[in-house]
Structure formats: structure tokens, C-alpha cells
Amino acid sequence: MRLNFFKLVFLLTTLLFSQYSIAETDLLNLSAYQEGDTPTYGDNIIMEQDENTEVKWISCPPTALENGKITFPVNLSGDFEVFIRISPGYYDFQAGEELFLISDEYRIKLSLSDLEIQAGDTTDDLGESDAWQEVNDIRLSIINNIAKVYLNDVFDGKITLKPNQVYNKLSIQNIDNNTSAGVTRIYDLKISGGTATTTTPETTTPENNTTTTPIPTTSTNCNAKYDAFVGRVIIPCIEVPDAFGGIQLYHVEMEQQPNTFSFDLDMNSIKPVQ
């Protein structure tokens, strides 16, 4: 793949569009946190990690007096999906974990402990699949104003939505720390087909009470650089449209061929930018 710079950029954009036509946004971004961090995208939450498997999750601190919650500004409309991997608590007489998608005049509420869904004034107790496990993958897929729910890749039910909505807030509430009922663990939260308007947030580490603010990568600090010393073109971000009209940023690098101004695309360097 030995091309001049401009042809390579065009090829790269085409390649990325074909490989990542439905871009995902990782909202939790757990790889950016250490055990004990308290991400500021929520209240009464803490990042925990299994010391043997190194698996990370969000939960509610044992000392918290109220249940935890997570909130993200988003921009979701048309066709999109929300994916969550969760180990929910078990509840007999109180509300369990709930996922909310909220627009200016409408909201969707999905119970993550029994999959009851409410859209506006309409409520439907789904539960068609009975596919519950200790850790569950729950997918809310919205296509043509129909919300379909999948539990561990098994169809669980659907409900009709009010059309022409733009959801600007995504929230998970009732993240519980009650050991007798089952502690909530949230391992993953992604959206595809829309955008989150947040960047990597500040984190506070309780042990030293210090705050770290990672520098977000945005379209304002995405200038490409040619490093003649190492012979590489470094592109911090390329905006690539997805299938639903959103934009996903990717970091890419190209390696210069000896004694030429031709470059090879470094496939291992292609990474989505948060």
C-alpha cells in the first residue's frame, strides 16, 4: 500500500467507513480508571476491579447512604442502540436498576432487573425470553420507532415509541449496594448510531483526594503531524461518518518508506478516540 499522502488519506477514510460504519461509543470508559476511582459522570459510584481477572465494573460504594446513578448527555435519534452488561441486584418490594432515555417531552424507562419497559404512558412487561444469567447483556435496539429488547442475544419483547424524538439524556438509576439483595455491577455501557456529548471526565481518587483531568481529544486539537525523525505521519483524529449520520473519531498513523514521500498505513494504529 505505497501511495502518496493525499491518496492514502482518501483510502484511509474509505477503509474506516467500511469497517466501522456503525460506530460505538464507550460511555463508561473503564480503561481510563483505577480501582477506587469515583468517575464524575455519576453520583455514589466507584470503579472496582477483580484482582485475578482484572475485570472492571461500576458499583455503589458500601458506605453510600443512597443508591448510585449514572448520567450522560447524549444525542440519540432515528435508529440507534444502547448496550449494557450488568449483574443486577434482586428485588421483591422495591425498584431495581432502571435505564432512562429522556427527550424534552418524552422518556423511555427500562427496568434492568425484570425488563419491564415504559414508553411515555405505555407500559409493557416483556420477559418473553427468560434468558437471565448472573451477568447479563441487555440490548435496546430502536429501529423505525420500534424499541426491541434483547436479553443475552435472545429477543425479549418490543414496544412502539412516539416518533421524531431526540433523546438528550441517558441515565441508569438505583445502582444498589445492598449485599442482601445483590450488589449492582455495571461492566459495560455503549451506544451506537448516536453520540455522547461528554469527554473523559475528571476522576477523584479517595486515597489522596487528588483530581486528575485527562485532556479530551476533539476536532479542535486534531492537527496531523509529520515527524521526520521517526518517519511517521500521526493523525490524532479523522472524522468518519457512521451509518446513522453520527461522527466517530479515529487515531491513525502512517509509516514513511525509506527515501520517498510515500507512506504505508499502520493498521495496528487505528483506534477509536473518546
Compute the distance between CA of residue 104 and CA of residue 231 in angstroms, rounded to an integer: 50
Residues 6+ apart with CB under 8 A from 24: 83, 190, 191, 192, 272
- Indicate the fold that domain 24-192 takes in CATH: Jelly Rolls (2.60.120)
The three cell numbers of residue 211 are: 483530581
3-state secondary structure 103-169: CCCCEEEEECCCCEEEECCEEEECCCCCCCCCCEEEEEEEECCEEEEEECCEEEEEEECCCCCCEEE
Q: Check if the beta carbon of residue 249 is closer than 8 Å to that of residue 238.
A: yes
DSSP SS3 for 240: strand
Domain boundaries, the chain: 5-21+216-272, 24-192
Q: How many percent of the chain have pLDDT more than 70?
A: 73
pLDDT score of 46 more than 50: yes
Q: Give the pLDDT band (50/70/90) at residue 160.
A: very high
**In 3D, which of 103, 129, 106, 131 has the Cα closest to residue 119?**
106
Which of 23-32, 130-139, 175-184, 203-212 is the least confident region? 203-212
The whole-number pLDDT of residue 18 equals: 45
Tally the C-alpha atoms within 13 A of residue 253's C-alpha that lie toward its C-beta: 11
The whole-number pLDDT of residue 271 equals: 80
Q: Give the pLDDT band (50/70/90) at residue 39.
A: very high
Mean pLDDT of all residues in 249-274: 80
The whole-number pLDDT of residue 195 equals: 63
pLDDT score of 218 more than 70: no
Q: Check if the beta carbon of residue 165 is closer than 8 Å to that of residue 180.
A: no
Q: Check if the beta carbon of residue 90 is closer than 8 Å to that of residue 132.
A: no
Compute the distance between CA of residue 34 and CA of residue 46 in angstroms, rounded to an integer: 10
pLDDT score of 8 more than 80: no
The whole-number pLDDT of residue 36 equals: 94
Q: Give the pLDDT band (50/70/90) at residue 21.
A: very low
Q: Check if the beta carbon of residue 211 is closer than 8 Å to that of residue 204.
A: yes
The whole-number pLDDT of residue 221 equals: 55
Q: Give the pLDDT band (50/70/90) at residue 274.
A: low
The whole-number pLDDT of residue 205 equals: 47
Tally the C-alpha atoms within 13 A of residue 58's C-alpha that lie toward its C-beta: 32
Q: Check if the beta carbon of residue 256 is closer than 8 Å to that of residue 266.
A: no
pLDDT score of 37 more than 80: yes
Condensed to tens digits (0 to 9), the pLDDT of residues 103-134 reads 999 999 999 888 889 999 888 776 666 778 88
Compute the distance between CA of residue 132 and CA of residue 111 in angstroms, rounded to an integer: 13
